[in-house]
Amino acid sequence: MSGGPALRLAPRRPPGALPAGSAERHAIGSGAAPAALPLHLAARSGRIAVALLAAAGPARACLALLVALGAGPLLPTGTGRPAAAPIRFEIVSGAPENLVRFESRAPVESFSGKTRAIRGWIEVDPLAIGDSVGVFVEVDLADLDTGIALRDKHMRENHLETDRYPTAVFRGARVQGDPAVEAGASRRLTAEPQGIEIEGELELHGVRRPLRLTVTLALRTGGEARRIEVSCRFPVSLAEHAIARPRFLVMKLADRQEIAVTATATEVP
């Protein structure tokens, strides 16, 4: 019919073929799928590439699309191994390898005290330490021994007040100052001792304060269970924890106390 719109015929396509650019629309729409529909979707997280091929059917294509758009990390970056649940290593109170020691260096008198009454746990995957580590360590202050019974009595009753605050507790911790860990990688414990800087919280005399310290760790694998050997040194201010300093002659106590800790945490079966 003259004067009407021109009728244009689309190019002939092979049976089952789709127009260019319409594969995704067909995959997520309804209706039968063509006999062979190639759909390649990739999702990258760190070093992992997920490639899915939906040979036919909208359901499989939708799954591929969801993975491509929303897939999270499948492996911790830089570890080259699947993520593992933290493993608990326990510190047993009274064990001969455990020791907490403090040193008070006052102008008039210097002395030290010690105890093996340290207990708690560390939760970590020793082959992939991330940016945080589960730690709970508790020291029985009533067991501190300075070598003089009268001095111990005054320290416990009048200053540490162990009847109200029987323990000192460290909780934490986040790994600090490690560029690899901060970039999303991880660190592996080895038999060679290595220092890791962490920050947690020290509760002493009812007062909680953040505490940042360098902990030396070594993994021991001989015997029935793996063990983590721990050691560290750090200062504690009595004033910051509201502990009154004694002035009488039997004990002159410095405000700054130097604390040294060694302990072994054994893997729980």
| CATH code for the domain in which residue 115 is found | 2.40.128.110
Domain count of the fold of the chain: 2
- What is the C-alpha to C-alpha distance for residues 132 and 200, in angstroms, rounded to an integer? 10
pLDDT tens digits for range 197-250: 999 999 999 999 999 999 999 999 988 899 999 999 999 999 999 998 766 544
pTM here?
0.66
Q: Say how far apart CA 2 and CA 240 lie, in whole Å.
A: 98
C-alpha–C-alpha distance, residues 99 and 174, integer Å = 24
Domain contains 7:
no
Tell me, what's the pLDDT at 57?
A: 53
Torsion of CA 223, 185, 263, 255, to 10 degrees: 170
Question: Is the same domain home to 63 and 96?
Answer: no
Tell me if 260 is assigned to some domain. yes
The reply to whether omega before 54 is within 30° of 0 (cis) is no
| Residues spanned by the domain of 221 | 87-267
Token pair 């040979």 is at which residue? 55
Report which of residues 47 and 225 the model is more confident about: 225
Same domain, residue pair 106 and 225: yes
Rounded Cα distance between 21 and 104, Å, is 77
The number of C-alpha atoms within 13 Å of 156 and in the hemisphere containing its C-beta is: 18
pLDDT digits (tens, 9 = 90+) for 131-179: 888 999 999 999 999 999 998 998 899 889 999 999 999 998 899 878 7
- Whether 158 and 209 map to the same domain: the answer is yes
Q: Does any domain span residue 153? A: yes
